[in-house]
Amino acid sequence: MSASDKKKLRKEQNAAAMTERQKKANKEAKALKTYTFTFIVLMVLVVAIFLGITLRNPVTGLVNRATTAVTVDDHKLTSVELNYYYMDFIQTFASQYDSYGTYATTYLQLYTGLNVSLPLDEQTYNKETGETWADYFTTAAKDNAKWAYAMYDKAIAEGYRLTDTDQKSLDTQEANLEVIAQYQGYSSVAGYLRSVYGPGASVKTYMEYTRINTIANNYANEYYEGLEFKDADYREFEKEKLTDYNSYSFSYYYCTVSDYQTFLGGGKTTVDKDGKTTVTYSDEEKEAARKAAEEAAKGLAIADNNTLEKLNEAIKALPINKDKKDVKATENTLVLSGSIQNADFKKWITDSARKAGDITTIEIKSGEGDDAKVTGYYVLLFQDMDKNEQPLANVQHILVKFTGGTKDSETGVTTYSDAEKKAAKDKAEAILDEFLKGEKQDSEAFGKLAEAKSEDTGSKATGGLIEGIYRDSNYVQSFKDWALDDRKVGDTGIIESEYGYHVMFYKEDGELTYRDYMIDIDLTNTKYEEWETEILKDVTVTDKNLKGLDRDLVIGG
């Protein structure tokens, strides 16, 4: 996975569950980025996928410690040191499928083609180049080593040092190695490290690897999180991509040629020896179906159908839909420009001249060049555009959970009776009443009440604070709707969610609008990548002897 890909894997907190504190809106993206080298901390070793790696004889370990595998500028990396990068990247790659549990290896093979039961150097990763999975992981290991040493050298040259807290963390990790080794049934830490990283691995070299990468990552994180911009920076950055940060509401209906082919009938029916029925159509019949689909689409895309209600009425009135129920246009409500996949859709919808009620047809083809065939016609109705200039919302809340309930043994879903819900609501109303009758009705007073009474363990320690809420945040809808309504500081209320009742307090508008929040993410990534590219551009990795890597590794053991 490339550096830019990893940086884009920003994990938004599971706001629906309300279990974690939100970062400030203009810092959230920066704080949750993962840089080029995804450093594997020690606890990954506990659940490492390598369950059956056969140890080589001790002589091999001595050779690996003495053999230079690659050089990164002036740094000589032994086979042991490069193997740390190699094995950790493989583990990172495979761990993306951990959520599938016992089916992890099945889905890993399904989605990537990697079979954990076969040697890496016997499996093709890229059919065009002949690159094996061993080649792929080797390249990734060298790239990660290049990144780590380039950042490390830059950090040291600029006088960057680990903080006392970082050093204590490293010391703790080293101490924890003993616990982990015992937990995994090994008599020594060195033996355990060899089981994961191969012959020659040792506590000393592993901790040096950890130290170098900790400095590299902390240095890169410090730069990334330190990037700050002014309004003029945002406006300059968006000049050539004004529509990228807009959201659009539109509806569409698809008139397919195949549907009209069936509707018009005709064709020649044949049945093969296995009883499979096939209907083939002449060129004339195919053209008739195409024309019928086109005429239907154009008949819908008229000025009179300038509202969704009118368009749906016209859709239902089509002869092809005579016996169909609930047939209607598909609605898209304020989707970001980048979510519009079809290029022709996007060009028409994002046109600056577009206004509510505009309607058109777009021809869809499959195949390329002379072989391209028309498969249907979309009818597009434009409804609205939002520049996303509403400020992010900062609120505080006190959660009163539902108690009791009946859990469905098949679905695992818990439902609550009206009486159980009423009990939670009564409690929430009492809390709000206590707040409103208090000496003060400000954020500080609400926060103290949240610390004392909220059942949301993720936010109660910070006075129930949830920051940086925007329209597309992953919150339960009722919570998000309340926060983004036309609010002013000090507004209160009670809303219901699937978790219980929330006593709400509107703290303030965030520092950024939703638009600038998105621009901030893209601008930060752009500036970081420019900085990173400059650091890496002259760094040279030279292969020396790669025989010490476990290129014939069988991940599943």
Work out the mean pLDDT of the chain and round it to a whole number.
Answer: 88
- Cα four-point dihedral sign 84, 525, 160, 71: positive
pLDDT of residue 57: 54
Gyration radius from the chain CA atoms = 30
Of 98-107, 221-230, 325-334, 414-423, the least confident:
98-107
Q: What is the pTM of this model?
A: 0.81
Q: What angle do CA 229, 232, 237 make, to 5 degrees?
A: 80
pLDDT of residue 379: 98
The helix/strand/coil state of 185 is coil
pLDDT of residue 371: 86
Mean pLDDT of 295-307: 97
Q: Which residues pair with 393 in a beta bridge?
A: 469, 509
Confidence of residue 351 (pLDDT cuts 50, 70, 90): very high
Mean pLDDT of 5-10: 32
Among 549, 529, 557, smallest CA distance to 88 is for: 549
Within 10 angstroms of residue 247's Cβ, the number of other Cβ atoms is 21
pLDDT of residue 5: 35
What is d(CA 347, CA 129) in angstroms, rounded to the nearest whole number? 36
Asked whether residue 293 carries a pLDDT value surpassing 60, the answer given is yes
pLDDT of residue 100: 87
What is d(CA 171, CA 163) in angstroms, rounded to the nearest whole number? 12
In sequence order, which residues have a C-beta less than 8 Å from that of residue 317 and are 6 or more positions away?
A: none
Between residues 98 and 88, which one has the greater pLDDT? 88
Letter for the amino acid at 346?
K
Percentage of the residues of the chain whose pLDDT score is greater than 90:
75
Mean pLDDT of 115-127: 94
pLDDT of residue 6: 32
| Domain definitions of the chain by residue range | 42-226, 247-386, 391-515
CA neighbours within 13 Å on the CB side: how many for 462? Answer: 15
pLDDT of residue 96: 87
| 391-515 has CATH 3.10.50.40 classification | yes
Cα of 385 vs its chain's centroid, Å: 25
Asked whether residue 502 carries a pLDDT value surpassing 50, the answer given is yes
pLDDT of residue 328: 96
pLDDT, tens digit, 9 for 90 and up, residues 177-221: 999 899 888 999 999 999 888 889 999 999 999 999 999 999 999
The helix/strand/coil state of 84 is helix
pLDDT of residue 58: 58
Query: How many helices and strands in the chain, by DSSP H and E?
Result: 18, 17
Asked whether residue 416 carries a pLDDT value surpassing 50, the answer given is yes
Between residues 22 and 130, which one has the greater pLDDT? 130
Confidence of residue 460 (pLDDT cuts 50, 70, 90): very high
- Are the C-beta atoms of residues 532 and 66 closer than 8 Å to each other? no
Most confident of 48-57, 75-84, 192-201, 409-418: 75-84
Asked whether residue 319 carries a pLDDT value surpassing 80, the answer given is yes
pLDDT, tens digit, 9 for 90 and up, residues 36-61: 333 444 434 444 444 344 444 555 77
Mean pLDDT of 118-141: 95
Asked whether residue 31 carries a pLDDT value surpassing 70, the answer given is no
Asked whether residue 458 carries a pLDDT value surpassing 50, the answer given is yes
Percentage of the residues of the chain whose pLDDT score is greater than 70:
89
The helix/strand/coil state of 336 is strand
SS3 letters across 508-546:
EEEEEEHHHHHHHHHHHHHHHHHHHHHHHCCCCEEECCC
Asked whether residue 162 carries a pLDDT value surpassing 50, the answer given is yes
